[in-house]
Structure formats: structure tokens, C-alpha cells
Amino acid sequence: MSQTVTLTAPPGYGRVVPFDKNRHAGLGLKPARDYRWCRELNAVLLSAAEFGRAALDYPIGYLRDPRGELAPAAILGLQARQNLFVDGQGRWHPQAYIPAALRRYPFCLAEVAPGDGQAPQQMVCVQEDQLEASGRPLLDAKGEPTAEWQPIQKLLEAMEGTRAATRALTQRLENLNLLVPFDALALPREGPQLRLQGLFRVDEAKLNKLPGRELRALAAKGELRAVYAHLLSLENFARLLDMAQQSRGSDGN
């Protein structure tokens, strides 16, 4: 039986390989781990289940994912390769929510196509240089999962479990013609204006004109709450501008 394995590392990752019970038995995560690896990410994909919490800290916009499909993302900076939530020591901004797609690092999931018409399956992969023999083992000497692996597995399973619901919400918004392109324009007190392009948002005027049955359907599925969280989150672009100006000021000192 032939298999096609797509090992496309998420943005910010290094090279990933399948997480193997023989190859990685006895290895654990490096103890000194921080968020330097994503300092140049200005956006990270979100699940719909994260909207409520993420909306408190980030603007949530829709962008094209690596497959070319629209997907929701937390916006982390106002220009390319800018993450305003990671400092020079690799620490995430205090009290800010850390999206699941970042917390899962150095692990991710890759699709395995069995090649016989069956649906693709998921394979756990890891950025191998983040494992070492001195860490607390994720797999014991026989390749069996340890207690250290359980929270990682739980996070990966939770992310996979919300993927279908997130795509369903996005597809429904597209079908209702609610997602429209927009540019996030910031006007600093000093320096050039900042413009993020390639983003999409829900058109609130169109949303308000939806027939009652469509609104009730969104509400019944719990999706209307996510839509309003997204709309409210757009106010956070002002917060990003404040953070960018503070960063600019500290760099100048």
C-alpha cells in the first residue's frame, strides 16, 4: 500500500519529521524553550473555538492559508516579519492569550494519503532539533507514551477536533457573501503609515441584513458568537499601533 506524506512545516518551524516511537524513544523536550522561533510571524491561524479568548488581545482577520483557502488568524504585527508579542528574550507578552498553534510547538500534524481512495489521516510530526536525551522522556524506552506526552497529545487532538468546525464556519461566511477584503491601515505619530494587505473581515452591514433564518442558523450552531468576537477584535488594531510605537520608542533609547 503506497502512502504520500506531506511534511509541510508550519510557519516559523524548522524541518519536521514523523514522531516515531523507535527513533524518538527516551527523548524529551529541551528545557530552555521560548518563543524566539516565532518572532517574525505577524499572524497565526486560529480555530473558531479560540475566538472568544483571542479577541481580547488580537485583531482576528481572515487570510489565505497555505492551501489557498480563507482561514481565521490572530494578527500579531502591523508589518511583515513583525511579532509585537515576543520580546528580545523570547517571552510572550504577559497575560496575553497564546494561540494553540504556537503552544503545540515543536509538534504539528501532517496529512498522510493512503493512496487507495481512503480519506487522509493525520501523522504527528516534530521539529527534531527541539528534542534531546536529557529532557523528560515523551516516550519510554519501549516507545510507549509517558505522562509528559499526554498534555501535548491532548492539545493536538483538541486542535484537530476544532478544525472541521472552523472550516465549516468560514465556508458558511463565504457562502453568505459576508467575507470582504480590507486593508488594516495604521497612522503612527511618527514614521510612515503601516498597511497590512490580504486580509478579509465580516461585512457588518451585510450581516445585519441577513434574513432571520440565516441569523438563527448561525446562532444555533454557536457561530454567531464567534462572528461578533471577530468584529469586536478589530478594535485591537489600535492596540497593535500602541505596542508598535512603544517598541519603536524603546529601541530608540
List the chain domain ranges.
Answer: 4-252
- How would you classify residue 48: left for phi > 0, otherwise alpha for psi between -120 and 50, otherwise beta? alpha
- Cα distance between residue 73 and residue 59, in whole Å: 8
Query: Looking at residue 253, what is its pLDDT?
Result: 47
Query: Looking at residue 114, what is its pLDDT?
Result: 61
Q: Is the dihedral of CA 92, 201, 245, 243 positive or negative?
A: negative
Phi, psi of 63 (to 5 degrees): -140, 170
Percent of the chain with pLDDT over 90: 73
Q: Indicate whether 1 pLDDT > 60.
A: no
- Is-contact 83 27, C-beta < 8 A? no
Query: Looking at residue 66, what is its pLDDT?
Result: 74
Cell of 252: 530608540
* Higher pLDDT pick, 34 / 2: 34
Q: Indicate whether 4 pLDDT > 70.
A: no
Residues 5-57 have pLDDT tens digits of 557 789 999 999 999 999 999 999 998 889 999 999 999 999 999 999 999 99
* Least confident span in 4-8, 131-135, 158-162, 233-237: 4-8
pTM comes to: 0.89
Q: What is the mean pLDDT of the chain?
A: 89
Q: Indicate whether 119 pLDDT > 90.
A: no
- Helix, strand, coil percent content, the chain, rounded in steps of 5: 35, 25, 45
Residues 126-153 have pLDDT tens digits of 999 999 998 899 999 999 999 999 999 9
Cell of 14: 524548522
List Cβ neighbours of 66 (8 Å cut-off, separation of 6 or more). Answer: 8
Q: Indicate whether 162 pLDDT > 70.
A: yes
Give Cα separations from 22 to 87, 129, 130, 202 (angstroms).
37, 16, 17, 47
